[in-house]
Amino acid sequence: MKAYKGLLIDLDGTMYRGANVIEEAPQFVEQCREIGIPYLFLTNNSSKTPDQVAGKLNGMGIAASAENVYTSSMAAASYIDHHHPGANVYMIGEEGLEQELRHRKMTFVEEGADVVVVGIDRHLSYDKLGRAAMNIQNGARFVSTNGDKAIPSEEGFLPGNGAITEAIALTTGVRPVFTGKPEAIVVRQALERLGIDKEEALLVGDNYYTDILAGIHSGVDTLMVETGATSFRELNDVQAQPTYKIKTLDEWKFLS
């Protein structure tokens, strides 16, 4: 164990489960504030704006502002702006993705796109899928916020952005660039936002296949909690293990 200069903290399964706060989460974040460790909440949710994410957290007693939030939509918009500045984009997605693309001065088009960018869209239509596919077949680059094929709901699992993305990929034969967890893109961008090196950061999450692998792919130490998606027994067959494992967040001891 060592003293870290910044934390990247997952949300669903780590801070809360759906609409319910995880008991130990508010105090964990409060300890970060008391010690003076900067933190970013790192989420694959592309539908919400940073203000909306922070509002939900504050409503649960978890201290957050928009500046403490980094989403897969932010990662996608930043990636596009870096590789295709001023791009014409065709977007499938919701408010969170649209806001980030507008912030980066992207132009929204129906055809002739330089980039097709896909996020979760709960108003998805066949026409939207078709337009995305046609733009890609006509040469547009293909970017997706994340590859989560399913998302949890109170009724069970629902199709995630990965399922939408896969439909377009199967149609066009083109694989996208994913910008969210477990890819290193979002972690590198988040570290730049915090102003720290990867050796100085700790990524905290519950899902081995998104959170923990994001840290492993980025060379960042990881802390896995058993309050969400992945149980410790599921790690018996994986080679790359988390740096640390704890049952609940209150077991973690901060070093200053």
For the segment(s) 83-178, the CATH number from 3.40.50.720, 3.40.50.1000, 3.40.50.300, 3.90.1150.10 is 3.40.50.1000
- Check residue 64 and give its pLDDT: 94
- Check residue 230 and give its pLDDT: 86
Element holding 72 (H helix, E strand): helix 72-83
State the DSSP code for 12: B
- Check residue 195 and give its pLDDT: 95
- Check residue 24 and give its pLDDT: 94
Q: Domain limits of the chain?
A: 6-44+181-251, 83-178
CB count in 10 Å sphere of residue 34:
11
Q: pTM of the full predicted structure? A: 0.92
Query: Rounded to a whole number, what is the largest CA-CA distance in the chain?
Result: 54
What's the pLDDT tens digit per position in 31-52? Answer: 999 999 999 999 999 999 999 9
- Check residue 256 and give its pLDDT: 62
Catalytic residue among 10, 114, 121, 221: 10
Does 6-44+181-251 match 83-178 in CATH topology? yes
**If you search the block for the tokens 């967040």, which residue do you land on?**
249
Mean pLDDT, contiguous 10-residue spans, the chain (256 residues) = 90 89 94 94 95 96 95 97 96 97 96 97 96 98 94 78 97 97 96 95 94 95 90 88 93 80
Phi, psi for 77 (deg, rounded to 5): -65, -40
**Catalytic (active site) residue 10:** yes
Catalytic residue among 12, 121, 206, 211: 12
- Check residue 239 and give its pLDDT: 87
> What's the rounded Cα separation, in Å, for the pair 38 and 196?
10
- Check residue 144 and give its pLDDT: 98
**Catalytic (active site) residue 12:** yes
Domain 6-44+181-251: which topology?
Rossmann fold (3.40.50)
- Check residue 227 and give its pLDDT: 87
- Check residue 154 and give its pLDDT: 65
